[in-house]
A and B are shown apart, each in its own frame.
Chain A
Amino acid sequence: MISELLINAFLVTIMLSIAIALIRTRTVIFTVILTSAYSLVAALMFITLDAVDVAFTEASVGAGISTILFLAAMAYLPKKEEESISSEFVPALSCIILGGILIWCSYDLPEIGQLTAPIHQHIAPEYIKGSKEDIGIPNIVTSVLASYRGYDTFGETIVVFTAGVAVLALLQKNPAKKNKSQPKQKIRENA
């Protein structure tokens, strides 16, 4: 039982080191690859935490499709990140303070894997019991996603559709507006 938690602790520490490397790197291609690696390690963690459906969604969508999106966007963007002029002290300090408060609060959270934790007492046992009798699908996650909480999934589809429409509207080529941005360029060169 303890070995399971040890594997978890090890994987999550790998994720921390990847995130620290992400802060330090200034090259865009390294950033994209590290993000992909981060998602893959997260998928491994989901498997050790019994969330197999989430794991392969994360591996295919989080590590796969978003990496492709980042690579495609990278082709049109500057390859190096510039050192920022303004100080990073205030954001860093506020993040450290907020993280400290969260870690302080974590002592009130239930330990990992306790059957008595409040989350396991509410509605989940009903879903587990009813999945076979009501819906007849052995995979409980699927039955909750498609049947008990079908409206949530419908809402998700609407969100994805809206995002797709917005991306299309943003990226379409509009020759009428191309000339409008020209004078702005000129002013900038003069300045």
Chain B
Amino acid sequence: MISSTIGIWNYWIVFCLMMIGLFLVIGRKNFLKKIVGLTIFQTSVFLLYITFGKIKGGTPPILNESIDSIYSNPLPHVLILTAIVVGVATTALGLSLVLKINKEYGSIEEDDISAQDLVDYHDDIETRKSVDLKFKQ
């Protein structure tokens, strides 16, 4: 019972971590926190993949002299190596977008930015109305 619980305990916690990452992305309005959430989500997916590749009593997949050694599955390791580097590239791109937004709006809170957009939109409508009036006159 205990060993079977430990056998899937990793999966449970990894799923909880994924959901925490997802919550940070969709629940929080701060853009920096959203990117942190994305990182958390990514790392927990990496953990899930690596957990699949583990073999009990296995060694890291580096060839050694003894014949009867069992190697853990190298394929998830390769996939995740690629994914880590791509993940950092995504983080860098996201952060530069956040910097650009902060420069343009002076804020990185989603509520703030949509309020400003709404004000701009109404201003646009007002300007268009006054231009139309001028043309009519």
Contacts and interface: CB of A to CB of B under 8 A. Distances in A.
Q: How many B residues are at the interface, by size bracket?
A: 35 or more
Interface in B47-80: 47, 50-64, 70-78, 80
B75 A123 contact: yes
Nearest to B28: A84
B71 A128 contact: yes
Contacts of A35: 36, 39-40
Q: Is the interface of A mostly helix, strand, loop or mixed?
A: helix
B99 A50 contact: no
Interface in A132-174: 132, 138-141, 144-145, 149, 152-153, 156, 159-160, 163-164, 166-167, 170-171
B85 interface: yes
Contact of A144 (B56, B74, B93): B74
Given A12-B14, A103-B12, A141 B74 contact: yes
Interface of B: 3-4, 6-24, 26-30, 32-33, 36, 39-40, 43, 46-47, 50-64, 70-78, 80-82, 84-93, 95-100, 102, 104, 107-112, 116, 119-120, 123
28 contacts: A9-B6, A16-B16, A22-B20, A42-B43, A42-B47, A50-B55, A50-B58, A54-B77, A62-B88, A65-B88, A70-B91, A73-B95, A76-B102, A77-B32, A77-B98, A77-B108, A82-B109, A84-B110, A95-B20, A99-B15, A103-B15, A111-B7, A113-B54, A113-B58, A140-B74, A145-B78, A171-B96, A171-B99
